[in-house]
Amino acid sequence: MSPRQITVLGECVADAFTEPAPTRDELALRVLPGGGPANTAVALARLGTPARFLARLSGDVFGRLFRAHLEASGVDLSGAVEAAEPSTLAVAELDALGQATFSFHAQATADWQWTGAELAGVDLADTACVHTGSLALVKEPGAGVVEDFLAAAASGATISID
């Protein structure tokens, strides 16, 4: 018998880090896939736990990066929504001590637009635990939809909140 899966619901964030550029009037960025829930799904899958990620993935360059990273890590994206909105972007600038200052570009991005219809068809029969956290529970307009989904899921799965 295979182990029951963990379903993770939440955001993907493009983490952009400033890097030295060829000239002073340029800015070079190195972008890595991130976001707490996405990172959790990746860690679970890499450790051999069946992990499904419920996400709203944009079709933009960052969304394609997220999808490739999650799939390469063995995360099940069968419950992911193809979103028309852009991806969330966080830009980090490191100071001389290595401390980061972030600017977030998250207004009206794909991660926060959950609708009841998008989550209504999610089958949790094989799910032992539903994990969420970070911004998914507080960023509107989708936060209430996520909260309702978790309340309904609690009858058949453990709920984990980061």
Interval 19-26 mean pLDDT: 86
Tens-digit pLDDT profile for residues 79-105:
999 999 999 999 998 888 989 899 999
Q: What's the total number of domains in the chain?
A: 1
CB 8 within 8 A of CB 40: yes
Report phi then psi at 70, rounded to 5.
Answer: -65, -45
Is residue 2 predicted with pLDDT exceeding 80? no
Nearest to 145, CA basis, from 54, 69, 64: 54
Q: Would residue 46 count as lying in a domain?
A: yes
pLDDT of amino acid 1: 39
In terms of residue numbers, what domain contains 57? 5-12+36-85+109-161
Interval 116-143 mean pLDDT: 93
CB 77 within 8 A of CB 66: no
In DSSP notation, 33-95 reads EE-HHHHHHHHHHHTT--EEEE-EEESSHHHHHHHHHHHHTT-B-TT-EEESSPPEEEEEEE-
Q: Would residue 92 count as lying in a domain?
A: no
Q: Would residue 103 count as lying in a domain?
A: no
Helix, strand, coil fractions of the chain, as percent rounded to 5: 25, 35, 40
Is residue 122 predicted with pLDDT exceeding 80? yes
Q: Would residue 134 count as lying in a domain?
A: yes
Q: Would residue 31 count as lying in a domain?
A: no
CB 79 within 8 A of CB 62: no
Q: Would residue 72 count as lying in a domain?
A: yes
Tens-digit pLDDT profile for residues 57-69:
999 999 999 999 9
- R_g (Cα) of the chain, nearest Å: 17
pLDDT of amino acid 134: 82
Is residue 12 predicted with pLDDT exceeding 90? yes
**pTM, entire model:** 0.92
Q: Would residue 90 count as lying in a domain?
A: no
Pair of tokens at residue 7:
């379903």
Q: Would residue 18 count as lying in a domain?
A: no
DSSP state of 144: H
CATH number of the structural domain spanning residue 155 = 3.40.1190.20
